[in-house]
Amino acid sequence: MLLSNYINQPKFFQVFLIFSMMLPVIQAENVDKLKQSMVRVSVTSQSYSFVRPWEKKRPESKRGIGVIIEKNLILVTAALVENATYLELEKLETGEKSPAKIIAVDYSANLGLIAPVRDDFLCSNCKPIPITKKKSKIGDTFSVWQFEENGTPIVGNATLKSVHVESYPYNRGSLLVFEIKVLLSRAGGSYTLPVLCKGKLAGLMMRHNQGNETMTLVPSPIIIHFITDYNDGNYNGFPRAGFGVLNLEDPQTRRYLGADHHDSGVYVEKVQPGSAAFEADLKVGDVLLAIGDYTIDKFGQYKDPDFGKLLLSHLVTACSYVGDFLNFRILRDKKEIDLKLKLKPFNSEEYAIPPFKVDKKPKYTIVSGLVFQELSREYLREWGANWFTSAPQEFVYFDINQWELIPLGQKFVFLSQVLPSEGNIGYHNLRFLRVTEINDMPINRIEEIDDAIAKNSTPYIKVEFESSPRVIYLDAKRLENENEKIQERYGISSLTQF
């Protein structure tokens, strides 16, 4: 990159050379200023237990460096503040501390805004750092900012290696990332680190692989989208079209679909029921040729004016806002058709089995010692890193194929365990059973369990499962008595949490 610049644009090279020689000088001048625009964020977080949903797990501490981007508004990653119970800011210069509060958080974009509880905590010379609007190019020089305990900055120089679309920790879809090359030994527990480019914010650290010296950033375009959306007073988040594509390289398949006359187009493989794509009538088997003015290639990429080839999801997520319309040109039955998508927000709760659940109490209800829950990815993750193969396989199968297996608007309600007591003798070993009906009322959401029990007028509570044992009965007359006993015996604060 540098070499070609040198050959073709000697002038540019000169500019670059001067800049790079000046860099230490500029830094020395600006370090103190920039330091005042950053603040250490210490977070105590406590996640919910999905195995014992009435409990919270052990508190954990996380730290990171937040960036002041507007008056009294500090940008951090969502990963830093997830399930936070206490937030504290610390000035890097003086070590002065103040509690903080969360203003906004978008887990799917892994970004959050926090503010000091005291309005006067951040002084007037804490100038916000602007977010770079520059089109970052491969080879651009970035700096990663860390601070020692005493506030001494440790700045790691980095180079932009790649701009692409990749999965985010809390998102089943993908968003734009910057990948940088950086030699940096990361101070323990730092979840958010600012990455600057010429004094402006280029991104926040999301992942860091010290072994191959690679850091993945939530990049400036995603941050700008987040802030713009926040500033309009009504945060909708990143839109989601709700479809999946697969490569369409195979000439035999292209001939079969009649797509052999195009050298573009990608195969629509999945459409999420209820999504924007679904409502616009996009169908499995369609060949997506173009979105707006952009041609979609065989790999599902388009040519972005800023970053070159990118996966089409960037067009939907970061280049558009909720409520925007996108024109899709598709090939169906060998005919070209235009579809209009009205973009909807991503909402984890719209999933039958939500892909993530943070800051929210897991729902459960305990009936005579039978613990009922709604299935979520978070529950499956309780099986550890290998949850995909070690969690109950039927549940994993339902999670992966939920669009096909669970009707829109329904949840997967199941019996997770039985807390043994006198009233549930004979049922102690029951677990991982999907509930279908209680007292002949269908159960598609956990809230319906309490309704079904409240409306019961028979002496029994009849619980039906999808598989063996199919039906069990509980004593309705002694239910309250049993519930009280179980609550006391197992020390459960509440028998129900919706």
Decide whether 254 or 329 has the Cβ nearer to another protein. 254
Residue 400 phi/psi, 5-degree rounding, is -65, -35
What's the min distance (Å) between Cβ of 427 and another protein? Answer: 6
What's the min distance (Å) between Cβ of 309 and another protein? Answer: 20
> What are 145's two structure tokens?
């900012």
What's the min distance (Å) between Cβ of 446 and another protein? Answer: 22
Decide whether 57 or 478 has the Cβ nearer to another protein. 478
Decide whether 233 or 426 has the Cβ nearer to another protein. 426
H or E stretch covering 12: helix 10-36
Decide whether 196 or 449 has the Cβ nearer to another protein. 449
What's the min distance (Å) between Cβ of 374 and another protein? Answer: 21
> What are 317's two structure tokens?
């997520």
What's the min distance (Å) between Cβ of 301 and another protein? Answer: 17
Provide the β-strand partners of residue 371.
366, 417
What's the min distance (Å) between Cβ of 329 and another protein? Answer: 19
Dist. CA 207–CA 381, nearest whole Å: 19
User: Hey, what amino acid is at 465?
Assistant: F
Write the DSSP string, 126-170: -PPPPBP-S---TT-EEEEEEE-TTS-EEEEEEEEEEEEEEE-TT
Write the DSSP string, 34-100: HHHTEEEEEEEE-PBPSSSTT-B---EEEEEEEEEEETTEEEE-HHHHTTEEEEEEEETTT--EEEE
Which of 410, 385, 352, 348 shows the shortest CA–CA distance to 172? Answer: 348
Decide whether 319 or 472 has the Cβ nearer to another protein. 472
Write the DSSP string, 247-264: ----HHHHHHHT-TT-S-
Decide whether 217 or 486 has the Cβ nearer to another protein. 486
What's the min distance (Å) between Cβ of 424 and another protein? Answer: 7
Q: How many CB atoms lie within 10 A of CB 449?
A: 24
What's the min distance (Å) between Cβ of 468 and another protein? Answer: 4
Decide whether 60 or 466 has the Cβ nearer to another protein. 466
User: Hey, what amino acid is at 284?
Assistant: V
Residues 6+ apart with CB under 8 A from 287: 248, 257, 259, 262, 265, 266, 267, 268, 330, 331, 332
Longest Cα separation, the chain:
90
Decide whether 16 or 432 has the Cβ nearer to another protein. 432
- What is the DSSP secondary structure assignment for residue 191, as one 8-state letter? -
Decide whether 324 or 422 has the Cβ nearer to another protein. 422
Write the DSSP string, 374-437: E--HHHHHTT-TTHHHHS-HHHHHHHHTHHHHS-TT---EEEEEE---GGGTT-TT--SEEEEE
User: Hey, what amino acid is at 197?
Assistant: C
What's the min distance (Å) between Cβ of 495 and another protein? Answer: 18
Decide whether 189 or 469 has the Cβ nearer to another protein. 469
Dist. CA 90–CA 479, nearest whole Å: 52
What's the min distance (Å) between Cβ of 1 and another protein? Answer: 33
Residue appearing with tokens 């750092």: 129
Q: Can you give the binding site for another protein, defined by CB under 8 A?
A: 244, 246-247, 249-250, 252-253, 255-256, 267-270, 284-285, 388-389, 393-394, 396-397, 400-401, 404, 423-427, 460, 467-475
User: Hey, what amino acid is at 413?
Assistant: V
What's the min distance (Å) between Cβ of 269 and another protein? Answer: 4
Question: With contact defined as beta carbons under 8 Å apart, do 168 and 110 qualify?
Answer: yes
Decide whether 147 or 267 has the Cβ nearer to another protein. 267
State whether residue 245 is helix, strand or coil.
strand
Residue 314 phi/psi, 5-degree rounding, is -60, -35
What's the min distance (Å) between Cβ of 430 and another protein? Answer: 9
Provide the β-strand partners of residue 251.
none
Decide whether 385 or 425 has the Cβ nearer to another protein. 425
What's the min distance (Å) between Cβ of 471 and another protein? Answer: 7
Decide whether 127 or 470 has the Cβ nearer to another protein. 470
Residue appearing with tokens 């409240």: 454
Question: With contact defined as beta carbons under 8 Å apart, do 357 and 348 qualify?
Answer: yes
Question: With contact defined as beta carbons under 8 Å apart, do 341 and 277 qualify?
Answer: yes
